[in-house]
Amino acid sequence: MAGSRNFLVVFNETDISTFDNRLNERKHKWINEEIVDICFASPNIGFILLTETRVFVFSARNQEHECLTAIQKMEDYKFSTCTSNQQSLLLAYKRPGTPIDEWHIDSWKRVTRYRSPDTCTNDEYINCLRYGSDLSKLGMTIYGSHRIRFELRDSKMNCLQRIPVCETGCCGFISMPGAKWLLSDGHFLYVITEDGSVEIIERQSVDAAYNDTGNVTVFADTFIVLRSRKALYFYANNV
């Protein structure tokens, strides 16, 4: 699940649901492999749909998708999560010491490949990548030693902040106004402020919680959207 100012895109096993600002829904048939993550790339490109082996661009307005054949994955590795700052696309892999590839979205040429220890240690996994709301900083959740931590990085992958969060194996998150970050493990919300403090909020209606990297997003700069297995929950963007 991912959002932009104009559209919300949600993957539902066999189709992609898109919602406009009035919450009108359209469905786009999906017959490829399962989508593991979605991110908004830019107004011109639209959304990125990531499977374990391929990368697609998706136009929510035109209901069209296309495989980016120029992007080839690393050896026999599997993709896991993606994010974009409207200039570069970051693609992480599902393996210990998670490598991250950076691709330029105008040419779809690879700029660089980050490896351990610049990404994480060899016995850790990066669960989720998301750029901040001003697109200058990168957030990531890292799983290691049976705990999740949040890290804030600069454009060169230098660590600016490291914050222990929870003990689950997966945690999606989004950037909020005021240099805040909102994390969700399906059962709890974690609000991280600029000074590194963490506020924990228990969700009242988890309704078979959706515990993956795409379980929370911002839509139309107005709503925070939380996903469960049975429903989408819309909240005013004022956490």
Tokens (6 digits) for 236: 């005013």
List the CATH code of the domain at 2-171: 2.130.10.10
Least confident of 105-114, 204-213, 218-227: 204-213
Distance CA 10, CA 233 (A): 13
The pTM for the full model equals 0.93
Residue 204 has pLDDT above 70, yes or no: no
pLDDT at 203 over 80: no
What is residue 169's predicted lDDT score, i.e. its pLDDT? Answer: 60
- Computed over every residue of the chain, the mean pLDDT equals 90
Residue 150, beta-bridge partner list: 141, 163
The span from the CA of 44 to the CA of 135, in Å, is 17
pLDDT digits (tens, 9 = 90+) for 83-103: 999 999 999 999 999 999 999
More confident residue, 167 or 21: 21
- For residues 127-138, average pLDDT: 93
